Amino acid sequence: MRSSNFLGDHSIKEVRRHGTCFFQFVTDVDHTGDLLSSDGSQRLIVIDPSRMPYKNNRRNTKILKLNPGLLFPWADRVIWQDAKLLQSNHGNMPSPRGLPSDYLLHFNRTVGRYGVCSSYMGLPPDKASVGDSSTVSFKAHCEAIIAAAEKRPTVSDDLETLRLQCQHYEEMHSNEALQSSQVFYNQHPLVDTAFIVYDMRNSTCRKFNGDFGCSWLSEIFCFSDRDQISFPHVLASSGLRLSPHMQVTGQEYRDRIYINENQRPMLHIAKRSCHWYYRSFSRCIASSNTHIDEEMIKDNETTPTTTTTST
């Protein structure tokens, strides 16, 4: 965060558009006392690791990542993005991953467009995600994560924990007669959690995002810190189901909307072809000529405040 080459000029453009509602959670191991990034775009929130519940900071990060209401109770909109998405290896160049240039517009094209409480990016069919598998499935993702952990054993939790967690979820959702198992196995709701959009403007969404985040953190507490492994189980166990309008052949290639028992849309998973691996993230998500239900956005809004967070 002190290097002028770390962020590139993408963040500068965002500050010009949105102001300084960008926050980075950092550990000040060098005792610099810095409260701003070198380019002035990120407000640094210094975390004292000794006051966090876990020794592993990967696990501590999940507390900040999955419960935005705990840290920003005043925010109407919260966008989480991993620091790796902001990094530019080419100095002052735009984000090579195609991040949005207008975060409010991105919010409207995801959460606003579908009237949901949160939006995630679908996991792409990439070697890093599913290895050599021809399908994006939970089993393939587990195998890819375990294979990566074998090469970098000190990065995350032990391999046995990962294996037991994957086996536990597969056994738990083995009864295909259950709705939860249908969501887990037939729809493979796998996501990349490096970019999450939260709507915090109404009590329904605040409660849903809070409950969903707490359930997610419970899995991370009990098993591994790999939040992408536990997400399919948490979604399948939440009572949400795929909207009947989305239950068509090839639905895994499309945007997916999950609804609650009252038929209300609650959660969105963007089509995986829009993943930042393909460098078209902001252009692909509901392109500019896509119709957006402005009335739905207006009905859900309370105040125009926009807040973006990152770590």
The predicted-structure confidence for 222-234, as pLDDT tens digits, reads as follows 999 999 999 999 9
DSSP 3-state of 268? strand
**Per-residue model confidence as pLDDT tens digits over 76-110:** 999 999 988 876 654 444 455 667 878 888 999 99
Instruction: Work out the pLDDT band at 219, boundaries 50, 70, 90.
Output: very high
Which residue has better confidence, 310 or 279? 279
**Per-residue model confidence as pLDDT tens digits over 198-209:** 999 999 999 999
Contact 92, 8 (CB under 8 A): yes
Contact 182, 244 (CB under 8 A): no
* pLDDT score for 1: 64
**Per-residue model confidence as pLDDT tens digits over 267-308:** 999 999 899 888 778 778 765 444 444 443 343 333 333 334
**Per-residue model confidence as pLDDT tens digits over 24-51:** 899 887 888 888 887 777 888 999 989 9
Going by the DSSP 8-state scheme, the letter that residue 124 receives in this structure is P
* Domain spans of the chain, in order of start: 10-300
User: What are the start-end ranges of the E strands in the chain?
Assistant: 23-26, 43-46, 77-81, 118-122, 191-199, 241-242, 256-259, 265-270
* Pairing label, strands 43-46, 77-81: unpaired
Average pLDDT, the chain: 83
**Per-residue model confidence as pLDDT tens digits over 158-189:** 789 999 999 999 999 999 889 999 999 888 99
* pLDDT score for 111: 95
Share of the chain above pLDDT 70, in %: 81
For the entire predicted model, the pTM comes to 0.86
Distance of CA 257 to the CA centre of its chain: 15
Which residue has better confidence, 116 or 279? 116
Instruction: Report the C-alpha gap between 267 and 242 in whole angstroms.
Output: 9
Angle at 308 between CA 220 and CA 217, to 5 degrees: 10
* pLDDT score for 127: 93
